[in-house]
Amino acid sequence: MIAVIDYGMGNLRSVQKGVEKAGGKAIITSDVREIESAAGLILPGVGAFGRCMENLERYGLVDVVKQVATNGKPFLGICLGLQLLFEESEEFGPVEGLGILPGKVMRFPKSADLTVPHMGWNKVGKRGKPKLLEGIDEGEWFYFVHSYYVAPEKEEDIATVTDYGVKFTSSVARDNLFACQFHPEKSSTAGLHILENFTRLVEDRTK
């Protein structure tokens, strides 16, 4: 079973439906025991960084998210669920994040040529070979909605990059963890393929 972590913010049902369409089984939960016992975890997120951190603390989920993100089980972060993994964000901040990955979250620079938030379809360029990107073509298109982007300290954590005025990290990967700024549940065939890869990893772990 895949647990979609519920901390009161995020497109939870869309993510759950995406997993189900990919052939997996998912529950939406804020129960620590269910999160700990799940075979795979997804941390989605929509909204302000600081508010999301406050909700994680209020729901008593900070410690368990840190635990499950590093304990070897397949873990997928989506959109703000990527940003929260880092040490701090500039959004109304600095605001402290979960600190699972070194680096910070930055706002897109002001430019007359660019609209912020970055919203719509854009291409990703692959930097590594994480399992969740197997079968994804170089330059594949995914759907984005965000005003801030992550700046990892370690190059080896970068899985894909995307160009929007600046070249930014659009996904990261480390061991069991993969997290993306784009929304796989809204990214048509390519996004479904990532969710299928994630579901397959979860199934392989439970065999």
Options 79, 91, 146, 196, the catalytic residue? 79
Query: Among this protein's residues, is 52 annotated catalytic?
Result: no
Active site residue 79: yes
CB atoms within 10 A of CB 109: 9
Active site residue 185: yes
Residue 126 · residue 159 · CB < 8 Å: yes
> Of these residues, 140, 185, 193, 196, which one is catalytic?
185
Catalytic residue among 118, 146, 183, 193: 183
User: What positions carry a catalytic annotation?
Assistant: 79, 183, 185
